[in-house]
Amino acid sequence: MTTTEATARARTAVRPTGVERSFGADELIVSKTDRRGVITYANDVFLRVGAYSLDEVIGQPHNLIRHPEMPRAVFHLLWDTISRGHELFAYINNLAADGAHYWVLAHVTPSVDERGTIVGYHSNRRRPSPAPWPRSAPSTRPCSPRSAGTPPPRPPSPPPPSSWTGWWPRRPPATRT
């Protein structure tokens, strides 16, 4: 496959199939990107689990593997956190080139030069431990009300200050007089 063909395949929209893929508990998926999130390195586990060739991912945006049912807010939080120089751990559902999906526990960190300037990002992904909640195959329904075009539900209003005793999970600190 030529580089041009690989780029064209990588940019073609992938439809989720509902097939869940996994990888070994002792394996790490590793990738590196530049400051804009363009992939500069992907290890063999990334390529095998994601069903991509190296030519298909190098030079592509990392959101190439973003599953459409992952809430956008997760990635806003991720970029906000790592661009400020902090690390982030998150459970992420990724999408392979063949439409399969795979869950990871991602650890994303900024890569810095000798002056401490962020020059890119590094991500290690592990197979998550079995979740304490039931996990099902991705559905065809939207993940959140916002993605369905309806406004999100309003959070409940806090009770008035006079009823905080018993409602608040712990007592507010005592005030000095």
Question: Is 80 exceeded by the pLDDT of residue 157?
Answer: no
Tens digit of each residue's pLDDT (9 = 90 or more) over 56-111: 999 999 999 999 999 999 999 999 999 999 999 999 999 999 999 999 999 999 99
End-to-end CA distance of the chain: 77
Question: Is 90 exceeded by the pLDDT of residue 172?
Answer: no
Give the C-alpha separation, 8 to 29, whole Å.
24
Distances in Å between the Cα of 163 and the Cα atoms of 134, 158, 159, 166, 171 are 36, 10, 6, 7, 12
- Residue 63 confidence (pLDDT): 95
Tens digit of each residue's pLDDT (9 = 90 or more) over 26-45: 999 999 999 999 999 999 99
The tokens describing 154, both together, are 């309003």
- Residue 140 confidence (pLDDT): 47
Q: 175: which residues sit within 8 A by CB, 6+ positions away?
A: none
Q: What is the CA radius of gyration of the chain?
A: 21
